[in-house]
Amino acid sequence: MTGWQHNPATAVLILADGTRLEGFGLGATGHAAGEVCFNTAMTGYQEVLTDPSYAGQIVTFTFPHIGNVGTNDEDIETVNMAALSGVRGVVLKADITNPSNYRAAEKLDAWLRKRNIIAIAGIDTRALTARIREHGMPNGIIAHEPTGQFDEASIAAELKAFPGLEGLDLAREVTTAQSYPWDQTRWEWNKGYGKLEDPQFHVVAMDFGIKRNILSCLTDQQARVTVVPAGATAEEVLAHEPDAIFLSNGPGDPAATGKYAVPTIQKLMETGKPIFGICLGHQLLGLALGGTTSKMHQGHHGANHPVKDLTTGRVEITSMNHGFAVDADSLPSGVTQTHISLFDGSNAGLAVDGKPIFSVQYHPEASPGPRDSHYLFTRFLNEVRKQKGLPEKPEYKAPESAA
């Protein structure tokens, strides 16, 4: 497998098996090791690159035209700006073009450089994706040197030292250092972001690498949010007197993060308060309920993943970003598998029987991705409304296809 030949090559991507792909460099200079994955989304590259769940990974975009709408400050998904460069690198097919969009404030190349993210272009991303599908996600190292003179010894040493994602607690690296309030509502066309004026509920969100649009989807349900660090204890969470608790997405191995998060979640489940988890939060909830998780072969990364809701029979097209999964056959009695991936049958949701506790593996906030699953935020806050004796809101359902 070879990349586009640039003479001289100003960037390289080297995989753990010795495969070397040469191209031309963009963004920051230097080198960084990570797990190489691929993302199939056709839009939302800025949201992908600022998703803290990609910490420790080098992202290969299968769509060839990345950068064509530029970048702006409104489409950043991380809230913790210190974690903005959690993604280790970017692999592209084509050079970054000049942006052609009225919202563009900066070219992607300059944006990557400011955030210390290395990119390589001119790579045969179809061949690289096929390799990952066949052999799994490899460790690799990406390097950019404008002169083409690479420090091969240093690059080889860093790649050898990278341990891979299994056993890594990366939530500690991307979480907030201290609690903070959130009252920003979702972005609206020609209006931008709004502010919650009349909160009715209070949600505490445990930040394992939370995304901005998840928080805004919660405020859209009239809930003010208090975000707490990943390592917050149950006592610290409950000191905020929440009506409900949210477990966020995030990077790394859930078993590693679970060493401190699982005991907290188990104590929170005893309160009877509604709990909703997404992505890593879903995996941590599965562990807290007695299940297990395992590393996936190629993971799920994209905005076109079909998921079936086993409770309704409906199929949703979803955004996904995870390299670990809950083992469905490990879920104990009293816990129901509610959703499955139609790509490979892996677990995509669970619920505790008779309790207001549920989670999904995918990203219902749709940033990037379709909005088929926005109703889950309504379902979550409806559990609070029921406990408070308030009328429930109708869940959004996609229109049925014409007969």
DSSP string of 260-273?
A: HHHHHHHHHHTTT-
User: For residues 23 and 9, what is the distance between their CA atoms, to the nearest angstrom?
Assistant: 5
Domain shared by 157 and 177, yes or no: no
- Examine the fold and report which residue of 112, 133, 161 is the final residue of a domain before the chain moves on: 161
Domain shared by 40 and 180, yes or no: no
Beta-carbon neighbour count of residue 45 at 10 Å?
24
Per-residue pLDDT, 19: 96
Record the pTM.
0.95
Indicate which residue of 22, 173, 365, 383 is catalytic.
Answer: 365
Q: What are phi and psi of 86, to 5 degrees?
A: -60, -35
Catalytic residue flag (residue 363): yes
Domain shared by 211 and 131, yes or no: no
Q: Residue 111: exposed, middle, or buried by beta-carbon count in 10 A (0-12, 13-18, 19+)? A: buried
Q: How far is CA 185 from CA 46, 83, 212, 344, in A?
A: 20, 22, 10, 35
Per-residue pLDDT, 85: 54
Indicate which residue of 37, 47, 363, 383 is catalytic.
Answer: 363
Indicate which residue of 35, 37, 145, 279 is catalytic.
Answer: 279
Per-residue pLDDT, 367: 87
Q: How far is CA 80 from CA 138, 180, 248, 254, in A?
A: 28, 11, 13, 20
Catalytic residue flag (residue 279): yes
Catalytic residue flag (residue 339): no
Domain that holds residue 92: 11-161
Domain shared by 137 and 86, yes or no: yes
- Examine the fold and report which residue of 161, 196, 231 is the final residue of a domain before the chain moves on: 161
Domain shared by 17 and 131, yes or no: yes
Say if 397 falls within a structural domain: no
Domain shared by 92 and 181, yes or no: no
Per-residue pLDDT, 369: 78
The number of distinct structural domains making up the chain is 2
- The answer to whether the beta carbons of residues 199 and 235 sit under 8 Å apart is no
User: For residues 57 and 80, what is the distance between their CA atoms, to the nearest angstrom?
Assistant: 18
Amino acid at 145: E
User: For residues 352 and 386, what is the distance between their CA atoms, to the nearest angstrom?
Assistant: 17
Domain shared by 310 and 363, yes or no: yes
Per-residue pLDDT, 8: 85
Q: Which residues, 6+ apart, have CB-to-CB distance to 313 below 8 Å?
A: none
Strands 118-121 and 89-91, bridge-based pairing: parallel
- The answer to whether the beta carbons of residues 159 and 33 sit under 8 Å apart is yes
Say if 6 falls within a structural domain: no
Q: Give the CATH number for residue 105.
A: 3.50.30.20
What the block records as the tokens of 325 is 């999964």
Across the chain, which has 403 residues, the per-10-residue mean pLDDT values are: 64 97 97 98 94 96 95 91 75 94 96 96 97 98 97 97 97 95 88 91 97 95 97 98 98 98 98 98 98 97 96 94 98 98 98 98 90 92 97 73 37
Domain shared by 282 and 207, yes or no: yes
Say if 395 falls within a structural domain: no
The candidate with the shortest Cα–Cα distance to 47, out of 216, 164, 180, 229, is: 216
The C-alpha angle 378, 384, 390, rounded to 5 degrees, equals 90
